[in-house]
Structure 1
Amino acid sequence: MPTLTGAVVLVTGANGGLGTHFVHQALERGAAKVYAAARRPKDWGDDRVVPLELDVTSAESVTAAAAIADDVTVVINNAGASNGSSVLGDLPAARELFETNFWGALAVTNAFSPALRASGGTLLNVLSVLSWLGIGDAYSATKAALWQATNTQRIKLAPDVHVASLHLGYADTPMAERVDAPKLDPADVVRSAYDGIEAGEFEILADELSGQVKAGLAAPIETLYPQLRRTA
């Protein structure tokens, strides 16, 4: 089974709500080094943490980061964005969102795949329960696309690389600060993610909601979207 003990971990979006916990908890689990990747890297005050400049929307930035962090054994594809865009009308903004949440994630995976293959490593794509629900509009579309791409990556990179996905409801992070709904503790989400990685899981469901929605995919579409039900 994969282990974080002695691992060299790269976390994209390391300065964000989940990202900070991914960095700290990797160290708590015995990681030897963590590349804390962000557009504007910061000093973490720990020699085991290597700040790394990485803009996932820039091919040059991704290539440069992969050249530096060529010893990675675990990649956490955590960088993401939300801009409130829609698939119905606001297409320039939706395209911009895809650049980060979909194309950026694929670029990171492609750039770091050689290192992960060489180490027999692990890739974790941070998705969302909204990868299975369209209520998040363009954001849902980006996560749904990455979910399907993740399935392809599992097949194409196996058996050299273990590809896992993390699905969760709203977490109490800056990205969801305007959401009026129950929120998960980001520390618990990351703990579930690392538990799943070390257990060799392919799909990690961080909360009950994600489990319910995943199970509901086999039901009639009106079950997921009751607004589609016809009234007498």
Structure 2
Amino acid sequence: MDIAGSVALVTGSNRGIGRRFVTQLLERGAAKVYATARRPELVDIEGVEVLPLDITDQASVTAAAERAGDVTLLINNAGIATQSSLLTDDLETVRREMDTHFWGNLSMVRAFAPVIERNGGGTIVNVLSALSWFAYPGSGGYAAAKAAEWNMTNAVRLELVPRGVTVQGLHLGAADTDIMAGYEGQMIDPMEVAIASLDGVQRDAAEVVVDEWSALVKASLAADPAAFYAQFGI
């Protein structure tokens, strides 16, 4: 897919990886970029069309699909991290993770796949995580939701192939964004994430693994998980 001349919509555009996606799309010659956020007043990027969007609200998703009827490239980037325990935290907190990363992004795919198909085909990118493939203490809700979103991405890819819509799963470890505030480990520049993903869009990649950590985690899936989790002292 050519980025130049495309019409893109990015969720969670006001900061972090979403903001870098928007700026990269503009630099690569996208004809129009819809920059969306739950609080659209926080989007301050020139040259975009700002839309309010809460991906956990079906009415909001439907309204966005009606307003942005010319989209050919959808970037499902919006997300949350509650750092919830699956065993001890309130279940409503855990459900917020699943409502956002699984149900919210599935709602976006269902709403925009017909739009992209009507416009001659295009691409959907789901921003996933290395935590699609492992978990560590405090990441239970997020990791479970990302694992569900990963296989949802695989499933909708199969359904959308005959409709001319490519689906990319994008995996990364820790990126230097607000959502990772307080994290002391190594982090990558969020611009690297946007660049790697859009390079993948241009070659119709089904999956993009951005960093070495994500690649290591994925490679570990074929082995006994005890060996992988031993590095966490578990």
TM over 0.5: yes
- Matches of 2:68 and 2:152, distance apart in 1: 23
- CA-based RMSD of the aligned residues comes to 1.6
Q: 1:15 maps to which residue?
A: 14
Aligned length: 228
Q: 2:141 maps to which residue?
A: 138
CA distances 1:108-161 after superposition (whole Å, capped 9, x unpaired): 111111111222110000000000012221110110000010010110111321
- Matches of 1:64 and 1:82, distance apart in 2: 26
Q: 2:110 maps to which residue?
A: 110
Which moved further from structure 2: 166-175 or 96-105?
Answer: 96-105
2:40 maps to amino acid? P
Q: 1:165 aligns with which of 162, 166, 169?
A: 169
Q: 1:216 aligns with which of 216, 220, 230?
A: 220
Alignment of 1:19-34 (within 5 A): 19-34=18-33
1:35 maps to amino acid? Y
Which moved further from structure 2: 22-31 or 80-89?
Answer: 80-89
Alignment of 1:50-129 (within 5 A): 50-90=49-89, 91-118=91-118, 119-129=120-130
Paired residues of 1:73 and 1:121 also in contact (CA < 8 A): yes
Change (3 A) 1:158 1:215: same
- Matches of 1:105 and 1:45, distance apart in 2: 23
Paired residues of 2:11 and 2:35 also in contact (CA < 8 A): yes
TM-score, scaled relative to structure 1? 0.94
Change (3 A) 1:222 1:7: same
Instruction: Give SS of 1:36's match.
Output: strand
Instruction: Give SS of 1:222's match.
Output: helix
Paired residues of 1:44 and 1:51 also in contact (CA < 8 A): no
CA distances 1:13-43 after superposition (whole Å, capped 9, x unpaired): 1112001100000011110000001111135
Paired residues of 2:14 and 2:44 also in contact (CA < 8 A): no
- Matches of 2:143 and 2:169, distance apart in 1: 15
Q: 1:184 aligns with which of 178, 183, 188?
A: 188
C-alpha deviation, 1:229, in angstroms: 9.1
2:153 maps to amino acid? T
- Matches of 1:208 and 1:228, distance apart in 2: 18
Gaps (5+ residues) in structure 1? none
Instruction: Give SS of 1:134's match.
Output: coil
Alignment identity in percent?
Answer: 47
C-alpha deviation, 1:85, in angstroms: 1.1
Gaps (5+ residues) in structure 2? none
Q: 1:198 aligns with which of 197, 202, 206?
A: 202
C-alpha deviation, 1:223, in angstroms: 2.4
1:152 maps to amino acid? A
Q: 2:154 maps to which residue?
A: 151
